[in-house]
Amino acid sequence: MIVKFKLVIAYDGTHYEGWQTQKTGTGVQQIVEGALAKLFPSSPALHGSSRTDTGVHALGMVAHFEIPQAEFKMSLRKLPLALNAWLPEDVRVSSANRAREKFHARFDAVGKQYRYFIWNHPAMNPVLRHTAWHVPVKLDLERMKSAARLFVGKHDFQSFAANPGYKKESTVRTVTRCDVRKSGQQITVIIEGDGFLYKMCRGMAGTIVQAGLGKFPPDQIKHMLAQRDRRVAGMTAPAHGLVLWRVQY
The Cα 138–Cα 213 span in angstroms is 7
90 assigned to active site: no
Q: Which of 12, 53, 108, 140 is catalytic?
A: 53
Please report, as a single letter, which amino acid is at residue 9. Answer: I
> By CB neighbour count within 10 A (0-12 exposed, 13-18 middle, 19+ buried), where does 214 fall?
exposed
| Contact yes or no for 55/239 (Cβ under 8 A) | yes
- Residue 243 backbone dihedrals phi, psi, to 5 degrees: -130, 130
Please report, as a single letter, which amino acid is at residue 186. Answer: Q
Q: Strands of the chain (E only): list them.
A: 2-11, 47-48, 57-68, 91-99, 111-119, 133-134, 153-156, 172-183, 186-193, 242-248
- Residue 192 backbone dihedrals phi, psi, to 5 degrees: -125, 145
- For residue 208, how many other CB atoms are within 10 A of its CB? 29
Q: What is the CB-side half-sphere exposure of residue 209 using CA atoms within 13 A?
A: 28
Taking CA atoms, 94 is separated from 61, 73, 79, 193, in Å, by 10, 20, 10, 23
The Cα 130–Cα 126 span in angstroms is 8
Q: Mind giving me the DSSP string for 220-231?
A: HHHHHHHHT-GG
Residues labelled as active-site residues: 53
